[in-house]
Amino acid sequence: MTPSTHLTFVLIIASVRAGRIGPIVARWFLDQLPPQRPEFDVVDLAEPNGTATTRLLDHADGFVVVTPEYNHSYPGELKVLIDSHRREWKHKPVTFVSYGGMSGGLRAVEHLRTVFAELYVVGTRNGVAIHMPWDHLEDGTLTLDDAAAASARQAMDELIWWAELLKPERSAGARGVA
């Protein structure tokens, strides 16, 4: 998983509810990646965001969205973030780390795929779906099996691949060609 060039990704924590475990899931995901992983900035939607978030999204080579499933979809705050930006998403890949009940958040991901596709964002095939994460918490740490860890690494490998592949398109867009 060694990128051929310097890449920066933004990890977005979508949950804002009291008692949320989004930051714990995000930490688990990052902990599964090898030490030579790409650089990550974190945007936590429970914290104020604004022009700093816009700059992070704009300079990112891709995104990891950590999202729960709320009412068979994703959090409204994530929709606001997505809709508040347009150019910042274009020609970049996104992978999803979802969590929830029996579905593991997959219904949220299916909705997000269509929204991001409209913004010229490539949703990766691989991602992570965590079923009943609250059943896997030990002293505030998410403890999952090796298969889940392998899926995190596989998702990151694909995200890097897409980020490298789409880099010329992002450069062309920066020059006004799109």
- Token readout for 93 is 């890949």
Distance CA(156)–CA(162), nearest Å, equals 10
Helix (H) or strand (E) holding 79: helix 76-83
**pLDDT per residue over 126-158, tens digit each?**
999 999 999 999 999 999 999 999 999 999 999
**pLDDT per residue over 84-123, tens digit each?**
999 999 999 999 999 999 999 999 999 999 999 999 999 9
Give me the amino acid identity at 64.
Answer: V
List of residues 6+ apart from 98 with CB closer than 8 A: 66, 67, 68, 69, 104, 105, 106, 108, 109, 127, 128, 129, 130
Q: Report residue 162's pLDDT band, with 50, 70 and 90 as the boundaries.
A: very high
SS3 for 88-124 is CCCCCEEEEEEEECCCCCHHHHHHHHHHHHHCCCEEC
Q: Report residue 68's pLDDT band, with 50, 70 and 90 as the boundaries.
A: very high
Distance CA(112)–CA(159), nearest Å, equals 16
Distance between terminal CA atoms of the chain?
Answer: 29
pLDDT at 48: 86
Q: Quote the distance between the C-alpha of residue 53 and its chain's center.
A: 14
- Token readout for 171 is 């450069």
Distance CA(28)–CA(6), nearest Å, equals 23
DSSP string, 119-144: TTPEEPS--EEEESGGGGEETTEE--
Give me the amino acid identity at 75.
Answer: P
List of residues 6+ apart from 153 with CB closer than 8 A: 1, 32, 33, 34
